[in-house]
Amino acid sequence: MRWILLLLVPGLATAQFNNELLIPPTLTGAEFSLTIDESTKQFYDGQTTETIGFNGNFLGPTLIFNKGDFISIEVDNNLNEETTVHWHGMHVSPEDDGGPHTVIAPNTTWNPDFTVLDRATTFWYHPHLHERTNRHVTKGAAGMIIIRSDDESALTLPRTYGEDDFPLIVQAKSFDNDNQLDERGDDNVFMVNGTLEPYLDVPGQMVRFRVLNGSNERVLYLGFNDDRQFMQIGSDGGLLESPVSMNRLRLASGERAELVVDFSGDIGSNLELLTYASELGGGIPGGPVGGGGGGMNGLDGQDVSFMEFRVGAATGNAVTSISQNLATHEPWDESEANNTRTISMDGGGPGNPFSLNDGIFDDNVINETVFLDDIEVWTITNTTNIAHPFHIHDIQFYILDIDGQAPPMNERGLKDVVLVEGNQTVRFITKFEDFADPEVPYMYHCHILPHEDGGMMGQFLVIEGEEEVLGLKELRNSYRVYPNPVSDKIVRVLVPQGMNASKDMEFKMFDLSGKLVPAISSKVCGPDNLMILYLSEFYTGIYNLVITSEGKSVASLKVMIE
C-alpha cells in the first residue's frame, strides 16, 4: 500500500505539495459532446494507472449551462462495457436523468436534450449503472456542472473560472501496490481535480471555491490550518439566502458547497486545506470509529492536510466584498403536504447488506409512486449505527428538521444529499413538478457507492394524477368504477365511448402511500365499454386506480375495497 502522507504531530498528517492543481477545461454553448473511454494516467513514477475519463484520461470537462437554455448532449460510450451518465442534482425528465435504466451500450451514443430549469448552482455528472457505479467513479469518470443565471450574475461574487472561481473535486482514493485504483481498498490518499499533493496559486482577494466531495464514501470535515473563518454561499441546489460564516464544513459523498475565502491579508503566504476527521462523530465514514471506513485505515480519524494555497497579488478586477442578500427561499409549509413517506436505512454486518425499508434494490419493483405536483414530506430514519448520505433524483428539498431540531444555517438552502447519522431521523419537504412518466423511474439511494451498488437504493415513479391531464374534463369525468365500495374481488370500470380499453389502456392500483399494489390478476373487456378487473390478493382499504393511455395518465379513481 502506497502512502504519501507524513505524520508530523499526533492526529495531523500533511503532504509535500509539489504538483500544480489541474483545472478542468470548460464546455459551453447549447450542444455538448462527451466521450467516456478507458485510458491511463501517470500518478506516480513507474507503472501507469488504468483510468476512465470523459474527453480525457481522468475526470472530465466542466460543463457550463445557462438557466433557460435548451441543451443537447451527445454521450459516446467507448468503453467495452455498458454505462450510464447521471446529471447529479439536475431537475430533468426521468428519460434524461441518466439513472440505471438509461443504459448506454458499448460503442453507442446517448443524446439527452432538455431545458435547464435549475437555479445557478454547482452539480456534477458521473456513471450510474447498477453494480458498476463504484468501479466507474473510482477509475475517474466524473465531472462538474456549473449552472449560471441572470439573477446570480447580477450579484457581487467571484465568477471568473480559473481565476477567482475554482472547481475543487476532492476525492479519497485507494491505490494498490501496483499503482492501480482499487474500488475495494481502503482510502489511502487524497486528490483534488485528479491531482495528488496539489497546490493552487490564488489571488489575494475574495476567491470562490465550488467544492464537491467526489469520494466513494469518506466524509470530509473541511477547515484551514490557521482555523480561519470562511463563508458558505451555496449548497447542493443553489445559493443560500445570505453567506454563512464558519471554520468547519462537513461534506458527505455527493454533496457540494460553494465557499468564498478572503485571501486579501495573506499575500505572500501559504495556507493549507485540511479535513479534520478527528472531530467527526462516531460512525461517520472517515472518522475515528465506526463503519464505512471509519477506524479501518491510517487516514481515519486523522486531520489530513491535502491541499496548499499560495497567495499572490490581487487581480486588476478583484472582488473585495460580496453581496449579502444572495437568493430568496420560500420553503413549502408542512401543512401544504399532500402525502408523507418514511424511508428506513437498515441492515449492516456480515451477510446483511445495508438496505432501504428492509429491501434490496430490484429494478423490476417500483418502491414508491408520486403524483405530479404533489408536495410531500419524507422522513429518513437511520436504524444503523453508521452514517449514510441520502440522495434523491429529480428534485431539490428543504430540510425540515434533524432529530426534531432545525437544521444548521448552511443547510437551510436547497439540497439533494443529506447525511443521516446513525440512529438519526431527518425530515425534508419537496414538490414533484414538471415531469411525469408512468414507465421510467427516478432513483433514491445511499450515496456511499459500495452501499448503492450493493442494493441500498429504491426507485419511484412520478405520474399524473389528480390534476387534469388532457384538459378534457368531460372525458375524465366519464370514467366510473361501480359498484364502489368493491366487495367481490371484481372492479368494473366504465370507460369513455371510442376508447378501446383492452388495447389502449393500462390499469394500475396504488395504495394511499403511492406504492404499487400488484392486485390486478387479469382483465376482461366487457360489453358497452366496460372493463372488468379481477383482483387477487388485496387488503381492505382505499386505493388509487390509475388509468393510462398512450403513456399518459387519463384518470385517477378512488376505489374502496371491503
**CB contact at 8 A, 127 and 83:** yes
205-240 residue pLDDT tens: 999 999 999 999 999 999 999 999 999 999 999 999
C-alpha cell belonging to residue 189: 490518499
Distances (CA, A) of 255 to 87, 238, 431, 466: 13, 12, 20, 34
Residues sharing a CB contact under 8 Å with residue 36, sequence separation 6 or more, in sequence order: 52, 53, 54, 75, 76, 77, 78, 79, 83, 85, 127, 141
**11, pLDDT greater than 80:** no
Q: Which of 93, 97, 66 is nearest to 84 (CA)?
A: 97
Mean pLDDT value across residues 105-116? 97
Same domain for 288 and 388: no
CATH number at residue 500: 2.60.40.10
**CB contact at 8 A, 131 and 451:** no
Same domain for 138 and 185: no
Residue ranges of E strands in 483-519: 490-494, 505-511, 516-517
β-bridge pairing 62-66 and 355-356: unpaired
* Residue ending a domain, choose from 129, 150, 171: 150
The confidence score (pLDDT) of residue 492 equals 80
Q: Which of 2, 143, 161 is nearest to 73 (CA)?
A: 143
**CB contact at 8 A, 343 and 444:** yes
Residue 4 binned pLDDT confidence (cut-offs 50, 70, 90)? very low
C-alpha cell belonging to residue 333: 409549509
Burial label for 80, CB within 10 Å (0-12, 13-18, 19+), is exposed
The answer as to whether 323 is a domain residue is no
Same domain for 350 and 301: no
CATH number at residue 236: 2.60.40.420
Give exposure, 384-395, as e/b (b: 16+ Cβ within 10 Å). Answer: bebbbbbbbbbb
The confidence score (pLDDT) of residue 447 equals 98
Distance CA 555, CA 479 (A): 7
Same domain for 517 and 413: no
Q: Which of 75, 73, 101 is nearest to 440 (CA)?
A: 101
For residue 80, give its domain range.
24-150
The answer as to whether 2 is a domain residue is no
Distances (CA, A) of 227 to 29, 248, 276: 40, 8, 11
358-408 residue pLDDT tens: 999 998 888 898 999 999 999 999 999 999 999 999 999 999 999 999 999
Burial label for 325, CB within 10 Å (0-12, 13-18, 19+), is exposed
Distance CA 484, CA 247 (A): 61
Residue 345 binned pLDDT confidence (cut-offs 50, 70, 90)? very high
Of residues 6 and 508, more confidently modeled: 508
Residue 528 binned pLDDT confidence (cut-offs 50, 70, 90)? low
The answer as to whether 468 is a domain residue is no
The confidence score (pLDDT) of residue 498 equals 62
Domains of the chain: total: 4
Same domain for 452 and 513: no
Structural element, H or E, at residue 475:
helix 473-477
* Residue ending a domain, choose from 463, 491, 514: 463
The confidence score (pLDDT) of residue 488 equals 76
Same domain for 455 and 494: no
Mean pLDDT value across residues 483-489? 77
The mean pLDDT value of the chain amounts to 89
The answer as to whether 221 is a domain residue is yes
**Counting runs of H as helices and runs of E as strands, what totals does the chain give?**
5, 43
**506, pLDDT greater than 90:** no
Same domain for 499 and 426: no
In the chain, the amino acid numbered 111 is N
Q: 503: which DSSP letter?
A: H
The answer as to whether 325 is a domain residue is no
Distance CA 434, CA 460 (A): 15
* Residue ending a domain, choose from 315, 350, 383: 315
Same domain for 122 and 176: no
**Half-sphere exposure of 544 toward its Cβ, with a 13 Å CA cutoff?**
21
The confidence score (pLDDT) of residue 10 equals 37
Distance CA 439, CA 527 (A): 29
Same domain for 411 and 375: yes
The confidence score (pLDDT) of residue 465 equals 63
The confidence score (pLDDT) of residue 429 equals 98
Same domain for 84 and 181: no
The answer as to whether 12 is a domain residue is no
16-59 residue pLDDT tens: 899 999 999 999 999 999 999 999 999 998 889 999 999 999 99
The answer as to whether 180 is a domain residue is yes
Q: Cell 487524497 belongs to which residue?
A: 190
**CB contact at 8 A, 396 and 234:** no
Same domain for 311 and 191: yes
The confidence score (pLDDT) of residue 388 equals 98
Report helix, strand or coil for 126. Answer: strand
The answer as to whether 516 is a domain residue is yes
Same domain for 102 and 57: yes
C-alpha cell belonging to residue 25: 477545461
Report helix, strand or coil for 339. Answer: strand
End-to-end alpha carbon distance in the chain:
64
